[in-house]
Amino acid sequence: MPRALCIGILLALLAACGSNNAPPANLDAAFPPESGGTMVDAMSGEPSGLIPMIAGESAASAVASHIFNSLLKYDRNLELEGELAKSWDVSPDQRTITFHLKPDLKWADGQALTSEDVLFTWKLVTDDKTRTPYGADYKLVEKAEAPDALTFKVTYGQPYAPALDSWAGLQVLPKHLLQGQDINNTPFARNPIGSSYYKLDEWKNGERISLVRNDHSVLGPPRIDRLVSRFIPDPASQFLELMADNIDVMNLNPIQYARIVPARPQLNKRIALYKELGNGYTYLGFNLKHAPFDDVRVRRAINYAIDKQELIDGVLLGLGEPIAAPYKPGTRWVNPQLKPYPYDPNKAKQLLKEAGFEDHDGDGILDRDGKPLSFEILTNQNKQREMSAVLIQRRLKEIGIDVKIRVLEWASFLGRYIKTGDFDVVVLGWSLSLDPDQFSIWHSSQNKPGQFNFINYNNPQVDKLLEQGRLELDPDKRMKIYHEFSRLLLEDSPVVYLFEGYGLPAISKRIRGIDNPAPPAGIGWNSEQWYIPTPLRRTEISDR
Amino acid sequence: MMRYLLKRLFWMVPLLVGISLISFLIMHLAPGDITTTEAAFNPKASEESREKLRKLYHLDEPVIKQYGYWLERMVKLDFGNSFASHQRPVFWEKQDEHGNVQKGLIQDALPVTLLINVLSLVLIIVAALPLGVLSALYHNKPADRGITVFVFVGFAVPGFWLALMMMYWLGVAHNWLPISGLHSLGHEKMGWFGQLWDYFRHLAIPVFISALGGLAGISLFVKNGMLDVLHQDYITTARAKGLPENTVVYRHALRNAMLPLITLLGLSIPGLIGGSVIAESLFAIPGMGKLFYDAVLMRDFPVIMGILTIGAALTLVGNLLADVAYAWADPRVRRGVMH
């Protein structure tokens, strides 16, 4: 009996001490914007440090983007605008770019932010001792100078069109704190001082990072006082935390988005779902050095034989788009005339017949010169890619191609197969940068081990366009170049574009001021304008 | 006894070198290294910068030479620094020339893993002893069957599934316990009792899940030990003397039945520093399992080797401790060791 009593008391205690954050009833009421409050989100990984050029992983850039500023940034429609820079001019020979900084910029510690800091950051990122993978863009600068505190000037050897994009990507670091330090191994990485909306408040190893409003923010104050990012590696746990109202923001997967949330009215009352264009696409890539993938008819046949809509419906539950060019849909770089290869198995069979593939021995598998048309699709442990491979396997079987699937651990996949070029077909993804330059992915010179044209794509016309595109700074002329490039790429079909999935953020309804529907830049573009009305704030975490 | 101990300790050295060599070689059998995984598919990252890294970490040299470098450092008890971009020390905190202290990775991850494992081991023993004794006393009766079914269900239920169910039921549906993490957001502002209570609430599900899986082994061990002992002549003697049944069972039988348990506990020492990747990921606990798993995925060789070496050393020490404790507890064994 006493034992039962103990358990009873324990349960009662547990219940009594459980944080009781029942949602307030007026979640749907309108509230005027106001400052204050804490927003909690979940991240699956922990940053290794908060100097973005050193850390490299997405978790680091997500946090660092709240702390540091670049010279330029992308606005809601993905056009460049000034961030630290007030304006910028390009010289007539297109080789020199002059940035004019906004006056009276300050670091979070109150020191002045000047063009010396920008110059210092450029020196860091191009220094051979700096262990950064991002130096290449900035090494093209022949001369960088800071003639006065508000002017920063860079001169390139020849015009370099992706330059502006690269200056939107380089976050400026404070010279007065980092000079003379080893940037690869400095305590600054765990205790950064920046210039943007927030500054670091606390970093609890393995648990969370808290940011607090920076009163010296060069872009003006944000509305929300504190941002807390909890590290929760497992997506199922993240979702439970969202259901329990312990976090405000997370990215959902298609099943959670399309099935689980809509089926729960309680959850629906508290959570708003958003949909934004993703930043990457999934593709099926051929090793163009291996027969029969050196034959464009075979590649096209496989492209026709794959039903992209089926993949989108099956893998993404409809939450994606088919693409015909390697650019973000809706941006100017997408050639509107291009359409994805339609699903047409008959055309596929006909093309394969032209290439010499027929079922001579009657075993249901096409063959040429006695060799069956059979290959292995390699992919890594990624559910969406695995599922895509299975659907593709079935469609190809229907036209007489025998496909096996092999799923590999990431490092083995890269080290053993991609780097050595020892593969036939892969299912992988590319993320998309906002600059249209894709020289490193498609140019024929980029096919050495470890480089990114590992499928060995080689088309002299495409090479030329890629080279031209890098030299052309005029957006309209540049657009024509990349439209033509996309057309050739689609024709050659070195990869089959499978789909581009949407980003699917779920955000508690206590967070207001979110742009819906999402603009091209995604909902996060104005997160400093988001606010939490006082009656909706969490009760258990009052402000310090 | 002393000579025996010294001999055992001496032989641990070549054993450790052998274990570490084999671990090192196997680790290098897996394709790829840190430079394949870090910024692997970032089109802005150049192959040149990766070559630079490979040279810096001696990854371009033969494996056996790399092992030499590692051993050279280990002799000085230097576990090295992680290959990851934060380059934190693998084991314990280090101070650089500017006086900045960097905490070690294992230093950060070990306490929480140790805490969970010790708590769950204590919970296992506290639960397994009465369950095992009851099973033995009511051998083949409904009580015994019920206990056996219970511990085996606990053993067989997939831990991650049960964890998710408990997280949902206790955390979402009833809001009694936190779902993941170690500290609530307002932890710093609580009093010491509040902080302790906060820890307890966060650790309740992880410790329970971890203990449930280990219950079957130990309780059956106790049960079988008790069954053996209860049929011994000296138990009959004790009963014949007219001792109360409780004294017979707990003083005479259980004490003897617990001897083999000492070995088992010794062997579980290395397990105390190992965490479960799945549990730690689910509960968002930054422990040893996640540290090791991430290091393997990243090919962060110094971290992998550091954890493996500590694990190997603890296994050897655990074995030794078990043997010594056994000798201490059982005079028959002690005499065997002396000669």
**Residue A93 maps to which CATH number?**
3.90.76.10
Work out the minimum CA distance from B112 to partner chain A, whole angstroms. 11
Do A236 and A175 share a domain, yes or no?
no
Is A476 part of a structural domain of the chain? yes
Q: Which of B46, B280, B291 to mutate to test the interface with A (most CBs of A within 10 A)?
A: B46
Is there a single domain that holds both residue A132 and residue A229?
no
**How many structural domains are present in chain A?**
3
Closest-CA distance, A414 to chain B, in angstroms, reads 7
Q: How far is A86 from chain B (nearest CA, A)?
A: 27
Digit-coded pLDDT (tens) for A188-205: 888 999 999 999 999 988
The answer on A330 and A237 residing in a single domain is no
Give the chain B residue nearest A57 (alpha carbons).
Answer: B39
Q: Which residues of A touch B285 (CB under 8 A)?
A: 206
Mutate to test the interface with A, among B85, B183, B303 (most CBs of A within 10 A): B85
User: What pLDDT, on the 0 to 100 scale, is given for residue A78?
Assistant: 87
Dihedral of the CA atoms B206, B211, B213, B218 (nearest 10)? Answer: 170
**A181: chain B residues, CB-CB within 8 Å:** 98
Are B180 and A419 within 8 A, CB to CB? no
Q: What is the H or E stretch that residue B195 is in? A: helix B192-230
The whole-number pLDDT of residue A363 equals 86
Q: What angle do CA A278, A241, B84 make, to 5 degrees?
A: 60
Report pLDDT for A19: 43
A119-145 pLDDT tens trace: 999 999 988 888 777 888 898 999 999
Please judge whether A416 and B32 are an interchain contact, meaning their C-beta atoms are less than 8 angstroms apart. Answer: yes
CATH code: domain B108-338 is: 1.10.3720.10
Count Cβ neighbours within 10 Å for each residue of B87-120 and write b for 16 or more, e otherwise.
bbbbbeebeeeeeeebebbbbbbbebbebbbebb
Q: Identify whether the C-beta of residue A231 lies closer than 8 Å to the C-beta of residue A40.
A: no
Task: Among A183, A216, A233, give the residue marking a domain's end.
Answer: A183
| A20 found inside a domain | no
Q: So what's the pLDDT on residue A447?
A: 86
pLDDT in tens, A265-322: 888 889 999 999 888 899 999 999 998 999 999 999 999 999 999 999 999 999 999 9
Better-predicted residue by pLDDT, B202 or B37: B202
Answer yes or no: do B181 and A440 touch at CB < 8 A. no
Domain extent for A490: 280-501
Q: Name the residue facing A234 among B42, B109, B282 (closest C-beta).
A: B282
Question: Can you give the residue ranges of every domain in chain B?
Answer: 31-76, 108-338
Residues of A in contact with B174 (CB under 8 A): 15, 18
CATH of the domain at A422: 3.10.105.10
Over residues A408-455, the pLDDT tens digits come to: 988 888 888 888 888 999 999 998 888 899 998 999 998 888 788 999
Cα distance between residue A396 and residue A398, in whole Å: 5
Do A514 and A493 lie in a common domain? no
Please state whether A238 falls in left (phi above 0), alpha (psi between -120 and 50) or beta.
alpha
CATH number at residue A224: 3.40.190.10
Give the pLDDT band (50/70/90) at residue A2.
Answer: very low
Answer yes or no: is A456 within a domain: yes
Q: Is residue A175 part of a domain?
A: yes
Mean pLDDT of the region A388-410:
93
Question: B39 contacts in A (CB within 8 Å)?
Answer: 56, 133
Could you say which of A127, A158, A183 is where a domain stops?
A183
Mean pLDDT over the full length of chain B: 83
Q: Residues of B numbered 22-51 whose beta carbons fall under 8 angstroms of chain A's beta carbons: which are they? A: 30-33, 36-47, 49-50
Task: Report the alpha-carbon angle B125-B126-B132, nearest 5.
Answer: 70
B53 touches chain A (CB under 8 A): yes
Kindly identify which residue of chain A lies nearest to residue B174, measuring between CA atoms: A15
How close is the nearest chain A Cα to the Cα of B239, in Å?
30
Cβ neighbours of A186 in B, within 8 Å: 100
- Chain A within 8 Å of B55 (Cβ-Cβ)? no
B159 touches chain A (CB under 8 A): no
Cβ-in-10-Å burial (0-12, 13-18, 19+) of B209 comes to buried
- The reply to whether residue A18 touches residue B176, judged by beta carbons under 8 angstroms, is yes
Residues A234 and A93 in one domain: no
Half-sphere exposure of A444 (CA within 13 A, CB side): 11
Give ∠ CA B178-B182-B186 in degrees, rounded to 5. 75
Same domain, A235 and A290: no
pLDDT value for A311: 95
Q: Cβ–Cβ of B50/A133 closer than 8 Å?
A: yes
Residues A417 and A460 occupy one common structural domain = yes
Is there a domain that residue A328 lies in? yes
Question: Are residues A320 and A221 part of one domain?
Answer: no
For residue B172, give the nearest of A243, A433, A540 by CB distance.
A243
Asked if residue A337 and residue A373 are part of one domain, the reply reads yes
Is residue A2 domain-resident? no
Structure confidence at residue A40 (pLDDT): 93
B175–A20 C-beta distance less than 8 A = yes
Both A207 and A129 in one domain: the answer is no
Closest CA to B292 of B281, B303, B278, B282: B303
User: Is A56 within the bounds of a domain?
Assistant: no
Distance of CA A509 to the CA centre of its chain: 25
Query: What value does the mean pLDDT take over residues B117-129?
Result: 89
Query: Token pair of B27, please?
Result: 């680790």
Are residues B42 and A448, on separate chains, in Cβ contact within 8 Å?
Answer: no
CA distance B237 to B252: 10
Q: How far is the alpha carbon of A322 from chain B, nearest alpha carbon, in Å?
A: 22
Which of A18-27, A317-326, B305-314 is modeled with the greatest confidence? A317-326
pLDDT at residue A68 greater than cutoff 90: yes
Among the partner-chain residues A233, A240, A441, the one whose CB lies closest to the CB of B172 is A240
**What is the structure's pLDDT at B191?**
82
Question: What is the separation of C-alpha A355 from the centre of its chain, rounded to a whole number of angstroms?
Answer: 38
* Distance (Å) from the alpha carbon of B282 to chain A's nearest alpha carbon: 5
Distance CA B182, CA B113 (A): 12
Q: Are A284 and A254 within one domain? A: no
Of A15, A21, A452, the CB nearest to B43: A452
- A74 within domain boundaries: yes
> Are A441 and B47 inside 8 Å of each other by CB?
no
pLDDT digits (tens, 9 = 90+) for A249-263: 999 999 999 999 999
CA–CA dist A199, A217 (Å, integer): 9
Q: Are residues A421 and A523 in the same domain?
A: no
Which residues of chain A are within 8 Å of residue B176 when distances are taken between CB atoms? 11, 14-15, 18
Q: Which of A404-408, A477-481, B59-63 has the lowest mean pLDDT?
A: B59-63
Chain A residues near residue B185 by CB distance under 8 angstroms: 38, 40, 228, 540-541
Which chain A residues are closer than 8 Å to B109 by Cβ? 206
Min Cα distance B182 → chain A (Å) is 7
